[in-house]
Amino acid sequence: MTQEYHKHFDWEALREEAARTAGEEPFLAALLESTIAGRNSFAEALAALLSGQCIFIHENADLARAVRQAIEADGAIVDDAVCDLEAIVEKDPATNSYLEPFLFYKGFISLELYRIGRQLWTSGRRMAAYYIQSRSSQLFGVDIHPAAQIGRGIFIDHATGIVVGETAVVGDNVSILHGVTLGGTGKETGKRHPTIGRNCLLGAHATVLGNITVGEGSVIGAGSVVLHSVPPHSLAAGVPAVNKGRISITEPSNSMDQIFDDYVI
């Protein structure tokens, strides 16, 4: 992910927006104060959001400490979260500010919970990672295994029904619509889930199964079932999916263009 995803985000502007919104909507004041306005950095705000009572059944000091420690142990978590916010604002025409996705978009929140779980998983705290995965799945309908490898600048739109398996790999700047599954094909072991290249667009309810690769800059049509690798910069669609040919758009995840010739995904 290039540094272009850092040129717009401004932590102080986010705090000011939170304070202004608290004045306009008093019933949100406590939430905004505890998560943003009362925090000294974006890292603190992210930790407060991801350990908040609205997410976990039993909010306690140990849980909040685990989230903070994960963020402190892996500085990329904060950097990745900023990239994810930038991606949402740039790609989603329904988004008007950074405050909206930070507080309310389950695609963003569940993705950042995955990042916490991933850090816990790689540091040997697997039961803690599973707990965060389970809670995210219960609340948001997003089930991402903490061992999966996901890049930055990820846009998960609507988010409901997302499944990402243990050995899945997702590159930077990928856009994923609701209902997408990156799964296996059976009980095989080892690398058994897909690898999604950079800049891909995965249409709603697309299913990609097995140790296959979707090449960089490709588009998977809505409702498609992909069982074989897809070349870079291609459109694959259908059940089972077939290669419809190359596409001219180099970064479909940015354009979010879902009309190619006569085929609508």
123 with 4, same domain: the answer is yes
For residues 116-127, give the mean pLDDT: 97
* Omega of the bond leading into 146 within 30 degrees of 0 (cis): no
For residues 148-175, give the mean pLDDT: 98
Q: Which two tokens stand for residue 192?
A: 């058994």
For residues 118-146, give the mean pLDDT: 96
Q: Residue 229 carries which side chain, given as an amino acid letter?
A: S
Q: By CB neighbour count within 10 A (0-12 exposed, 13-18 middle, 19+ buried), where does 41 fall?
A: exposed
CA distances (Å), origin 192, targets 137, 151, 182:
21, 19, 10
Amino acid 2: pLDDT: 39
Amino acid 3: pLDDT: 40
Q: Lowest-confidence range among 54-58, 116-120, 136-140, 233-237?
A: 54-58
Beta partners for 181? 163, 207
242 with 128, same domain: the answer is no
The range of the structural domain enclosing residue 93 comes to 1-142
Q: Please answer whether residues 162 and 142 qualify as being in contact, where contact means their C-beta atoms are separated by less than 8 angstroms.
A: yes
111 with 181, same domain: the answer is no
120 with 1, same domain: the answer is yes
| Those residues with Cβ within 8 angstroms of residue 31's Cβ, 6 or more apart along the chain or in another chain | 54, 103
Amino acid 1: pLDDT: 36
CATH number at residue 41: 1.10.3130.10
5: pLDDT strictly greater than 60: no
Amino acid 261: pLDDT: 65
